Structure 1
Amino acid sequence: MTEAEKILFSTDREIKNLKAGEKRYTAKDAVANGLFLDITTTGVKSWWYRYSLNGKQERLVIGRYPDLSLKEARQIRDESASLVAKGISPKPNKNKVTSILFSDYGERYLNEVIKKERKNPYNMILCLNNDIYPMLGNIALDQINVDDVRRVIWRKKDQGYDASANQVRGLLKRMFDYAMTLGLVPFNPVLSIPTRHIYKAVPRNRYLSTSEIRTYYTTLLNSRIYRPRKLGLLLSLLTLIRKSELLRAKWEHIDFEQRLWLIPETKADSATGHSREMVVYMSDQVIEIFKDLNTIAGDEPYVFVGRKSGTHISHNAFNTAQKSALSLTNIPDFTVHDLRRTASTHLNEQGFNSDAIEACLNHTMRGVRGVYNKAKYEKERTEMMKKWSDYIFSLIYEPNLIFFNKSKNIG
């Protein structure tokens, strides 16, 4: 009986109890066949997968423990064993003359997976172009290791965007999962970086009180921030729509006569992955704000014009404007998205139909009621948006007379 067969483990606790000895040794996973831990005299623990292919014994070095947990090592072992069963070596082919660049593989993944699963791939493309390709694009797909992946993810974390870093990690994991399915890589290096070490989601409950609404918008509208950004942040509160839907607003979708704003594609539903169209019933104040923005935009197709003709403003434009205005106040931190929660909270407190509020938020109703309740609540939503705009302007209009009088009187 070999030494490796004498020492078994099946839990993380048992692995932690494996100490360095005078000689290097290996321990065997009692659950996953062929999975071993190599323990050096300095206490370094590395995962190995031993297998037989074409009558020859081979060994694949997977990664280190605890960087790679027992659960993750077993998953990589299972994926590698699947390749071995098909007669394919899970080890990288070092004799390959050519290897696909990550950027080229990314375009394949975009066309074969993302565009088929998501009606609007905008955010995914943005993530690839801004966060992933600049750092991994020119590296061969099968040569990308854990350190390469870690650099990409931690770049976002170091910028202070932990949630975005976790989104980058999620996209990379799915990309390497598909690459394994195609046999392009032997294992998924992203599995060595657990989500729990990147970002821990905290349920948000932040919303602005009545006094905070008055103070924030008085400060914002009297600041030197570009006027369209101010109006955009005001529209966010008045209409309850998401920031992504606001910045991509087009004039062709706004009907002043019918007092309707059609949003053909909204953020994809988390359950189905599909986008839904949405209708915003515009109040008098919202209409006048759009007319003001129309004067500024001129012949441009987008309501909020980007730096180049024919484009809309960047993803962070409203964030930057919001933070700039917030820094001029003593109001506790909040995000642009919290304006949706602010509106929802106040409307519920004021006794409006909760289903109509959810419809304005474009939320999908869950359970049995979601199956049978297909009402659009047009009448309730139209009246609610009118009263909501009246309420907000009763708070912010008088302190901002000069701002509103710079264009057609809104009131």
Structure 2
Amino acid sequence: MSLTETTLKAMKPKEKTYIVTDERGLYIEVFPTGGMIWRCRYQLNGKTEKLTLGKYPALTLKNARIKRDHALSAAALGQSPARQKQLQKVAAADATTVEEFTAKFFKDVQEKDRTDNKQIHRYFDNDILPYIGKKAMKEVTTEDVRSIIWRKKDHGFDAAAGQLRGLLKKLCDYAVTCGLLNFNPVLALPMRHVRKVKSRDRSLEPSEIRLFLTAVYSSNIRRQFKVGLHLILLTMVRKSELLLARWEDVHFDVAEWHIPAENSKTGKPHIVYLSRQATVLFEELQVLAGGSELVMPGRGSLIKPFAHNAINCALKKSLQGQNVPAFTIHDLRRTASTILHENGWPTDVVEKALNHVMGGVRGVYNRAEYSSQRTEMLQFWADYIEKLLIDKNVILGRFGKTA
């Protein structure tokens, strides 16, 4: 029996997939989800082949019959419509550019692995796509990826070169999975030749903390960076958490800074209990923000934050000529952890303040927030830092108690 548009519109999904035939091999497949797909069967060299024509209602009954007729005509001439369609797919895939495949990679892989991909997007937008974005993915060579990685390495950014190597490997791994590459060209560049990863154990001594803050406030870097570096030390947060912070999350009335899940490395919301000194620093940043919704709006913009590397450069600039061994902003977190442990604060409280994920059985069963202990500890830490500065008559801000 021939199908009609009325019949098609009246079809309802069932618990199991079922088919309804039209004529001359054409039929429609109805799925439990409600989706409907046109297919047709035909004979070629004594064997039955099946061809998918398209989805209903995007492909109407009339047009489905036209596509069926074309398929039957091809089969009558000894050609396989199903095989031709497969070859067309391969040809289309062969023409896929790196830029096009990157969009698929983010959707299928990267965004499922992690929620915050801002930095990853920056690497692709600034260091990968401008150089090979228009190239067919199937034509990417070891020399292509080497030039991208070494461009960063030759400028002295070994860590970033390592990041690029990891991203390119992940991208090309997925290209191999999708059949666009026969082998991963990044494998010819071992990570040990790009960057020798060393576990960091740098922790500042009290005298170095004093020199660090004195140098920062005496330098000619932006006032926002001076206050921001000081605030990172006092609150023990990651730099990205401060650079992405918004005023709606800073609650002066209860002295709390709420870091939302999307800005947290753990993917979970985190509360920072603000010391008296940290509150004063936030108040200054609010004035410097000039009405922006961001705590630290970027240069010349009230709606975009600073690039993550900007505050790194500010630290490097402020320490030029100072007798302080090199350290990173992340080392400030290790410094706080080390000194707080030395002063008898429990590991669980310190780790919770650092917003670390606790592993093992302890991590499964310990759900305590330690709110009161963390509040007390962060005030102790801020007082400790202030005392280091006062002892040397260094005045960086007004931290007196408010009425």
TM (norm. structure 2) is 0.74
SS in 2 for 1:391: helix
Q: 1:366 aligns with which of 349, 359, 371?
A: 359
Which has the larger Rg?
2
Q: Does 1:159 align with 2:155?
A: yes
1:229-251 deviations in Å (ceiling 9; x for gaps): 00100011101111111111111
Q: Which moved more, 1:330-339 or 1:176-185?
A: 176-185
Q: Does residue 1:171 correspond to 2:164, yes or no? A: no
Distance in 1 between residues matched to 2:265 and 2:175, nearest whole Å: 24
How far the C-alpha of 1:400 sits from its partner, in A, is: 6.8
2-side partners of 1:169 and 1:410: how far apart? 50
Q: CA deviation at 1:131?
A: 1.5
Distance 1:97 1:365 in 2: 44
Change (3 A) 1:387 1:97: closer
Change (3 A) 1:373 1:95: closer
Aligned position for 2:368: 375
Following TM superposition, by how much is the alpha carbon of 1:104 offset from its aligned partner in structure 2, in angstroms? 1.4
Q: Provide the residue aligned with 2:288 in structure 1.
A: 296
Give the counterpart of 1:181 among 173, 177, 183: 177
Q: How does 1:67-82 map to 2 (within 5 A)?
A: none
- Give 1:374's aligned amino acid: R
Q: Deviations over 1:335-366 (max 9, x none)?
A: 11111111111100011111100001111111
Q: Give me the whole-angstrom Cα distance separating, in 2, the residues matched to 1:214 and 1:163.
A: 28
The answer as to 2:184 corresponding to 1:214 is no
Q: Distance in 2 between matches of 1:400 and 1:297?
A: 29
Could you tell me the percent identity over the aligned residues? 43
1:396 match: 389
Could you list the per-position Cα deviations for residues 44-83 of structure 1 after superposition, in whole angstroms to 9, with x for gaps in the alignment? Answer: xxxxxxxxxxxxxxxxxxxxxxxxxxxxxxxxxxxxxxxx
Q: C-alpha deviations, 1:126-148, integer Å up to 9, x for none?
A: 11112111221121111110000
- Per-residue CA deviations over 1:98-144 (Å, capped at 9, x if unaligned) read 71111111111112221222111112111111211122112111111
| Residue number in structure 2 paired with 1:357 | 350
Identify if the C-alpha distance between structure 1 residues 183 and 386 changes in structure 2 by more than 3 Å, giving closer, same or farther.
Answer: same
Q: CA deviation at 1:186?
A: 2.0
Q: 1 CA distance for matches of 2:166 and 2:284?
A: 40
1:243 to 223, 239, 245: 239
**Equivalent position amino acid for 1:318 in 2:** I
Instruction: Tell me which residue corresponds to 2:318.
Output: 325
8 Å CA contact 1:221, 1:400 repeated in 2 = no
Q: 1:113 aligns with which of 109, 116, 121?
A: 109
SS of structure 2 residue aligned to 1:221: helix
Q: Which amino acid aligns with 1:168?
A: L
Preserved CA contact (<8 Å) 1:222 1:400: no
Other-structure match for 2:298: 306
Query: CA–CA distance in 1 between the matches of 2:323 and 2:117?
Result: 38
Alpha-carbon contact 1:404-1:410 (below 8 Å) kept: no
Matched residue type, 1:129 = D
For 1:314 and 1:123, locate their aligned partners in 2 and report how far apart those are by CA, in whole Å.
9
* Other-structure match for 2:279: 287
Asked whether the equivalents of residues 261 and 279 of structure 1 are also in contact (C-alpha less than 8 Å), the reply is yes
> What is aligned with 2:22?
none
CA distance in 2, matches of 1:112, 1:142: 18
The residue identity in structure 1 corresponding to 2:312 is N
- CA gap 1:280/1:399 in 2 versus in 1, 3 angstroms: same
Aligned counterpart in structure 2 of residue 204 of structure 1, from 196, 200, 204: 200
Q: CA deviation at 1:268?
A: 3.7
CA contact (8 A) 1:220 1:230 kept: yes
CA distance in 2, matches of 1:258, 1:410: 15
The equivalences for 1:24-63 within 5 A come to: none
Match of 1:232 in 2: 228
Match of 1:47 in 2: none
- Is the counterpart of residue 384 in structure 1 residue 377 in structure 2? yes
Count of residues paired in the alignment: 313
Which stretches in structure 1 are left out of the alignment for 5+ residues? 1-86, 88-92, 270-274
Alpha-carbon separation, structure 2, partners of 1:193 and 1:240: 36
The CA distance in 2 between the partners of 1:381 and 1:97, in whole Å, is 55
Tell me: CA distance 1:259–1:163, structure 2 relative to 1, closer, same or farther (3 Å): same
Cα deviations by residue, 1:207-242 (Å, 9 ceiling, x for unpaired): 111111111111211222211100100011101111
CA distance 1:391–1:139, shift in 2 (3 Å): same
Separation in 1 of the partners of 2:395 and 2:197?
Answer: 42
**Amino acid in structure 2 at the alignment position of 1:365:** M
| Worse overlay, 287-296 or 131-140 | 131-140
Closer, same or farther in 2 for the Cα pair 1:306/1:400, shift >3 Å?
Answer: farther
1:153-191 CA-to-partner distances (Å, cap 9, x unmatched) read 111111112121111111111111111111122221111
Query: What amino acid sits opposite 2:298 in the alignment?
Result: G
Kindly report the root-mean-square deviation, in angstroms, between the aligned alpha carbons of the 2 structures: 2.2
How far apart in 2 are the matches of 1:383 and 1:195? 44
Aligned to 1:23: none
Q: Distance in 2 between matches of 1:115 and 1:177?
A: 16
